[in-house]
A and B are shown apart, each in its own frame.
Chain A
Amino acid sequence: MAPLLQVENLRIELTTRDGVAPVIDDLSFSLNAGETISFVGESGCGKSMTALGIMGLLPEKIGHIASGTINFDGEDLTKASDVRLREIRGNDISMIFQEPMTSLNPVYTIGEQIAEVLRRHQGLGKRAAHDKAIDLLDAVRIPNPKARVSDYPHQMSGGQRQRVMIAIALACEPKILIADEPTTALDVTVQAQIFDLLRDLGEKMGTAIILITHDMGAVAEMAERLIVMYAGRKAEEGPVEQVIDHPRHPYTKGLISCVPHLMGTLTAERPTLTEVRGIVPSIRQFGRDACLFASRCDLVSDKCLEGRPHEIGFENDQHSACWHAEDV
């Protein structure tokens, strides 16, 4: 079966004060129907840019797709018209954002905002859209949906607003849901609720989920496969358990071990955390024919500075773009 979404050699360029830089550089991946895949990396590594590229929401006049294809259900989105993209957005592919505080319009009730999507994409009448909005609020587990449907966003807590966002995103039963750091602004107990909800609804509707996050724990809980992004390039890809057990890219390894995780067994000893020294290179460095992680890497050799590493494959479709992948 052909994958639902197939991205090939995608290159997204951003025009900045210092010239044009590839914020996404030769990215390929695929997503099957109903699957959950996760993009991990520090800020500025191109996770969100990938999502915006797929949605056709790159910042106008600043960002554009330079080359590559995004095949969604047999259609190349890079060539689709604006009208067609608008049709797809919210209907077949929808997105939820990090800030549940600002992504709802404060002057409309949440019921109106959910109904709006239904009326636009599914042509439902006023009454039917209103009723479906109540059903959706119930589905995202907002207590007493009949009364809450006429609430304004400011009357809800952060977690509830994110639920409303999920309700809006799932209103048209999309094939793909892109969740860009959906729980970063929320408390950990609320995060657990949201993850549970996403997992259940994803399974029930058969929606594939692209989860963008910086939290390896969240990846381990939610996703089947992960893609580690670094400086606009794919550093590593593979099944979540396998990559966490044995990362094949020093950056992945660093990302996992630099965070003090809660482990099954707690020791009185607390070893010094492994550091990934330095920071993500500036956007001006992007696109160089070298390994961009070299300046922060312990395994660095001359080879790393002379050319961009090719992807090396391991068992179970684990790939790593590192000259020293075998040694990690």
Chain B
Amino acid sequence: MSKQEQADLLLKVDHLTVRFAMKRSGWGKKSYLYAVDDVSFEIKRGETLAIVGESGSGKTTTALAVARLVHAHEGIVDLDGKNFLELQGEALRKARAKLQFIFQDPYSSLNPRLRAEAVVREPLDSLDAVPVAERQAIVDRLFTAVGLRPEQQRLFPHQFSGGQRQRIGIARALATQPELIICDEPVSALDVAVQAQILNLLRRLQGEFNLTYLFISHDLGVVQHMCDSVAVMYMGKIVEHADRMSLFTKPLHPYTSALLSAVPSVDKKRREATKRILIPGDPPDPVNPPKGCRFANRCPVAQPQCSQSEPELSEVAAGHKVACHLVDEKAISPL
């Protein structure tokens, strides 16, 4: 990797693994659920990487582990040249200021006993990065930046609508002037018309403050609109990772294709052009994942080898990585 490329890289996640201990079965035997299983990705400064997947795919756990909000069993989260997972004390404090989080549920992500201004100021107080005297001015600026009126600072969370609460959550995430913001399904709890307001705001702020987003979502329409590159997760693993254009126009993994084809569309042309790929059944038990490819039991084109060995995530075209036995260097979808 050249020097220039290294400088452009803000976040590099390597072999991240998160496991949860399950109830003991019998004496002393602990079984683990690998919610995130050996996941690696990187994000360039100022870009947006989206992680998509369905429930149970491990996308949210990945986000939480990157932010050190759940314990990572293994792996490295390299944020701006330092392993964020190993920082302690003052260094951790400094790093936390650089990495902030926007939560999914605007109704539970704000402390109901704090006024809006106190919610936004909380990270400033906890991280102690700026002098006390300057904090109010920062809060004022942020309120304007996210489109709230100054007099609303005195209100309590329950006096705001869902969209406004999410704006407060965004202001809170911006307070410490972070470089990376992890957005965990930031609009999925909002009404459709309000979603657009928040998505536009997030994109505007990205330009204004030169932010880098790790964007977690299950909504492919939203992802398509927000991201520069996409990682598709299935049962704790990344199955496909590519830039926006190639992933949405030329998906290679059968799961990605099925996922895309399942999204209902208002566009008649798209409806007529896409063949619905139905994947039957449900994902296998995550505590005892199958030996081979985890998608094999639902895959419409599965071959015997698929249930024998697990495919590696490998680059098949420039910047396009797939974990599928049936995709080779020619990068042709097996479907």
Contact present between A and B (CB < 8 A)? yes
Which of chain B's residues has its CB closest to A268's CB?
A: B245
**Chain A, range 145-202, C-beta contacts under 8 Å to B:** 157-160, 187-193, 195-196
Q: Binary interface profile of B, 191-202, with partner A (CB < 8 Å = 1, else 0)? A: 111111101100
Residue of B193, B226, B265, B270 touching A276 (CB-CB under 8 A): B193
**Chain B, range 24-67, C-beta contacts under 8 Å to A:** 54-55
Assess whether A262 is in contact with B191, with CB atoms less than 8 Å apart. Answer: no
Assess whether A270 is in contact with B225, with CB atoms less than 8 Å apart. Answer: yes
Which of chain A's residues has its CB closest to B247's CB?
A: A266
Given contacts A43-B191, A259-B221, A260-B224, contact A272 B267 (CB under 8 A): no
Which of chain A's residues has its CB closest to B261's CB?
A: A192
Residue of B54, B218, B248, B282 touching A262 (CB-CB under 8 A): B248
Chain B nearest CB, measured from A229 CB (Å): 13
Assess whether B269 is in contact with A264, with CB atoms less than 8 Å apart. Answer: yes
Instruction: Determine the chain B residues whose CB is within 8 A of the CB of A43 once the complex forms.
Output: 191
Assess whether B192 is in contact with A259, with CB atoms less than 8 Å apart. Answer: yes
B13 on interface, CB distance cutoff 8 Å = no
B4 on interface, CB distance cutoff 8 Å = no
Q: Binary interface profile of B, 250-293, with partner A (CB < 8 Å = 1, else 0)? A: 00000000111111111111110100101111100000000000
Assess whether A258 is in contact with B192, with CB atoms less than 8 Å apart. Answer: yes
Instruction: Determine the chain B residues whose CB is within 8 A of the CB of A221 once the complex forms.
Output: 264-265, 271
Assess whether A188 is in contact with B195, with CB atoms less than 8 Å apart. Answer: no
Chain B nearest CB, measured from A18 CB (Å): 16
User: In the complex, what distance in Å separates the CA atom of A274 from the CA atom of B266?
Assistant: 16
User: In the complex, what distance in Å separates the CA atom of A175 from the CA atom of B260?
Assistant: 33
B222 on interface, CB distance cutoff 8 Å = yes
Assess whether A262 is in contact with B200, with CB atoms less than 8 Å apart. Answer: no
Assess whether A189 is in contact with B54, with CB atoms less than 8 Å apart. Answer: yes
B249 on interface, CB distance cutoff 8 Å = yes
B161 on interface, CB distance cutoff 8 Å = yes
Residue of A193, A217, A277 touching B265 (CB-CB under 8 A): A217
B203 on interface, CB distance cutoff 8 Å = yes
Assess whether B196 is in contact with A258, with CB atoms less than 8 Å apart. Answer: yes
User: In the complex, what distance in Å separates the CA atom of A69 from the CA atom of B224?
Assistant: 45
Which of chain B's residues has its CB closest to A251's CB?
A: B193
A215 on interface, CB distance cutoff 8 Å = yes
Assess whether B196 is in contact with A274, with CB atoms less than 8 Å apart. Answer: yes
Instruction: Determine the chain A residues whose CB is within 8 A of the CB of B161 once the complex forms.
Output: 279
Instruction: Determine the chain B residues whose CB is within 8 A of the CB of A204 once the complex forms.
Output: none
Dominant SS at the B interface? Answer: helix
Residue of B220, B226, B248, B267 touching A188 (CB-CB under 8 A): B220
User: In the complex, what distance in Å separates the CA atom of A276 from the CA atom of B54?
Assistant: 28
Assess whether B196 is in contact with A273, with CB atoms less than 8 Å apart. Answer: yes
Assess whether B264 is in contact with A157, with CB atoms less than 8 Å apart. Answer: no
A20 on interface, CB distance cutoff 8 Å = no
Instruction: Determine the chain A residues whose CB is within 8 A of the CB of B191 once the complex forms.
Output: 42-43, 214, 279-280
Assess whether A220 is in contact with B199, with CB atoms less than 8 Å apart. Answer: no
Number of interface residues of A (CB under 8 A): 49
Chain A nearest CB, measured from B148 CB (Å): 13
A143 on interface, CB distance cutoff 8 Å = yes
Instruction: Determine the chain B residues whose CB is within 8 A of the CB of A272 once the complex forms.
Output: 200, 203
Chain A nearest CB, measured from B3 CB (Å): 28
Assess whether B245 is in contact with A266, with CB atoms less than 8 Å apart. Answer: yes
Chain A nearest CB, measured from B273 CB (Å): 5
Q: Binary interface profile of B, 124-147, with partner A (CB < 8 Å = 1, else 0)? A: 000000000000000000000000
Chain A nearest CB, measured from B53 CB (Å): 9
Most central of A160, A262, A270, A275 by chain B CB within 10 Å: A262
Instruction: Determine the chain B residues whose CB is within 8 A of the CB of A227 once the complex forms.
Output: none
Chain B nearest CB, measured from A186 CB (Å): 9
Assess whether A262 is in contact with B270, with CB atoms less than 8 Å apart. Answer: yes
Instruction: Determine the chain A residues whose CB is within 8 A of the CB of B225 once the complex forms.
Output: 260, 270, 273
A254 on interface, CB distance cutoff 8 Å = yes
Instruction: Determine the chain A residues whose CB is within 8 A of the CB of B197 once the complex forms.
Output: 275, 277
B163 on interface, CB distance cutoff 8 Å = yes
A263 on interface, CB distance cutoff 8 Å = yes
User: In the complex, what distance in Å separates the CA atom of A268 from the CA atom of B245?
Assistant: 7
User: In the complex, what distance in Å separates the CA atom of A259 from the CA atom of B238?
Assistant: 27
Assess whether A193 is in contact with B278, with CB atoms less than 8 Å apart. Answer: yes
**Chain A, range 210-239, C-beta contacts under 8 Å to B:** 214-222
Which of chain B's residues has its CB closest to A143's CB?
A: B281
Given contacts A188-B54, A268-B245, contact A214 B192 (CB under 8 A): yes
Assess whether A261 is in contact with B248, with CB atoms less than 8 Å apart. Answer: no
A116 on interface, CB distance cutoff 8 Å = no
Residue of A195, A220, A255 touching B193 (CB-CB under 8 A): A255
Most central of A143, A188, A190, A216 by chain B CB within 10 Å: A188
Q: Binary interface profile of A, 19-33, with partner B (CB < 8 Å = 1, else 0)? A: 000000000000000
Assess whether B265 is in contact with A220, with CB atoms less than 8 Å apart. Answer: yes
**Chain A, range 266-298, C-beta contacts under 8 Å to B:** 266, 268, 270, 272-277, 279-280
A244 on interface, CB distance cutoff 8 Å = yes
Given contacts A264-B273, A266-B245, contact A241 B163 (CB under 8 A): no
Which of chain A's residues has its CB closest to B281's CB?
A: A143
Residue of B55, B203, B264, B279 touching A218 (CB-CB under 8 A): B264
Instruction: Determine the chain A residues whose CB is within 8 A of the CB of B195 once the complex forms.
Output: 258-259
Residue of A42, A158, A254, A261 touching B266 (CB-CB under 8 A): A261
User: In the complex, what distance in Å separates the CA atom of A205 from the CA atom of B53?
Assistant: 35
Instruction: Determine the chain A residues whose CB is within 8 A of the CB of B280 once the complex forms.
Output: 193
Which of chain A's residues has its CB closest to B197's CB?
A: A275
Please list the 7 inter-chain residue pairs (A to B) with the smallest Cβ-Cβ separation, ordered nearest first. Answer: A260-B225, A217-B264, A258-B196, A264-B270, A264-B269, A192-B262, A187-B54
Known: A260-B199, A262-B224. 5 other contacts (CB 8 A): A188-B220, A215-B264, A244-B266, A255-B193, A263-B269
